């Protein structure tokens, strides 16, 4: 099994600078959407290149256990394949669903950055495989799909920047969607989380993993499971905030699985989701090899160890 890990220990000087940069950014994002859109691209959500690389590695481990094979993958029980380090959703042509499709947005971002996207992918109007069985029986080991896996592996840096960009935009969306009487405390919770690399990683990963929580289609029994719902679940003034975020996320995801009509969410996916949340720590808290997240086995499928769906 191929494994790759990046481990960064951040000193107090870097932490102090990081807190200052993120504090300024968060004030701009939450107070002035227009100013945030203009300035956020320059400061990168407060992450240095080394910190952003660490976040990208964590997400790659969470989704794929660092396996290239898992970069183009189709989970059991899902109507779409998942691609890239963030397992971005790509619906087959003519298919739609309740979960937010993100792979086309990733392609548009990569194209704007000058990436040489495979022509057959750029021209496709949706995933070219009608269902999971066809994908694994016919396409998974084809030269085209293997080439796509190589392309997605080689562009991991662009993909984590896309995840970063989505998380940045989600700050505005989540605050705007919150009840009026909760907006102030929600801003405070975000501010507290954004003081450390671990908190920024948790927000970036969770938005990529379970979304912003603002889409009305992403509800079971009227209850969502995205970043908005986790922040509302967090107690006010919780210390440390990253632990409170982790615990609130566990409650929200457990509620989602309990509300789900498909028992696979409770029986198989929930344990993996909760395991993923345990990676929400500061860089210095994880000095050994990264072991958490998905595991990929077999020749044609990335069989996720009790982990699934991208949203």
181 secondary structure, DSSP code: G
What residues have CB less than 8 Å from 74, skipping those under 6 apart? 80, 81, 82, 129, 132, 135, 136, 301
CA separation (Å) from 281 to 85, 165, 290? Answer: 19, 21, 12
Compute φ and ψ for 216, nearest 5 degrees: -70, -20
pTM of the model: 0.71
**Which tens digit of pLDDT belongs to each residue from 148-204?**
999 999 999 999 999 988 888 888 889 999 999 999 999 999 989 988 889 999 998
How far is residue 68's CA from residue 203's CA, in Å, rounded to a whole number?
Answer: 25
**Which tens digit of pLDDT belongs to each residue from 249-305?**
999 999 999 999 999 999 999 999 999 999 999 887 543 344 444 433 333 344 444
Token readout for 209 is 């993993």
């Amino acid at each position: 099994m191929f494994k790759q890990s990046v481990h960064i220990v951040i000193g107090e000087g870097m932490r102090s600078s990081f807190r200052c940069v993120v504090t300024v950014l968060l004030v701009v994002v939450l107070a002035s959407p227009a100013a945030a859109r203009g300035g956020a691209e320059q400061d990168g959500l407060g992450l240095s290149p080394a910190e952003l690389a660490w976040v990208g590695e964590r997400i790659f481990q969470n989704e794929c256990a660092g396996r290239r094979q898992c970069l183009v993958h189709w989970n059991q029980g899902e109507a779409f394949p998942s691609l890239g380090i963030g397992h971005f959703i790509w619906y087959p042509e003519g298919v739609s669903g309740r979960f937010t499709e993100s792979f086309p947005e990733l392609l548009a971002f990569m194209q704007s950055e000058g990436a040489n996207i495979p022509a057959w992918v750029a021209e496709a109007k949706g995933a070219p495989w009608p269902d999971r069985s066809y994908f694994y029986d016919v396409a998974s080991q084809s030269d085209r799909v293997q080439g796509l896996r190589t392309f997605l592996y080689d562009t991991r840096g662009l993909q984590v920047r896309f995840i970063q960009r989505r998380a940045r935009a989600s700050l505005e969306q989540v605050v705007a969607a919150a009840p009026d009487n909760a907006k102030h405390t929600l801003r405070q919770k975000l501010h507290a989380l954004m003081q450390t690399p671990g908190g920024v990683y948790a927000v970036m990963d969770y938005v990529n993993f379970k979304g912003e929580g603002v889409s009305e289609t992403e509800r079971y029994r009227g209850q969502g499971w995205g970043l908005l719902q986790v922040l509302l679940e967090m107690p006010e003034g919780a210390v440390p905030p990253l632990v409170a975020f982790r615990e609130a996320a566990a409650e929200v995801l457990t509620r989602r699985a309990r509300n789900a009509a498909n028992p696979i969410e409770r029986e198989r996916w929930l344990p993996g989701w909760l395991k993923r949340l345990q990676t929400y720590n500061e860089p210095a808290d994880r000095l050994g090899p990264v072991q958490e997240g998905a595991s990929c086995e077999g020749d044609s499928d990335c069989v996720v160890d009790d982990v699934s769906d991208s949203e």
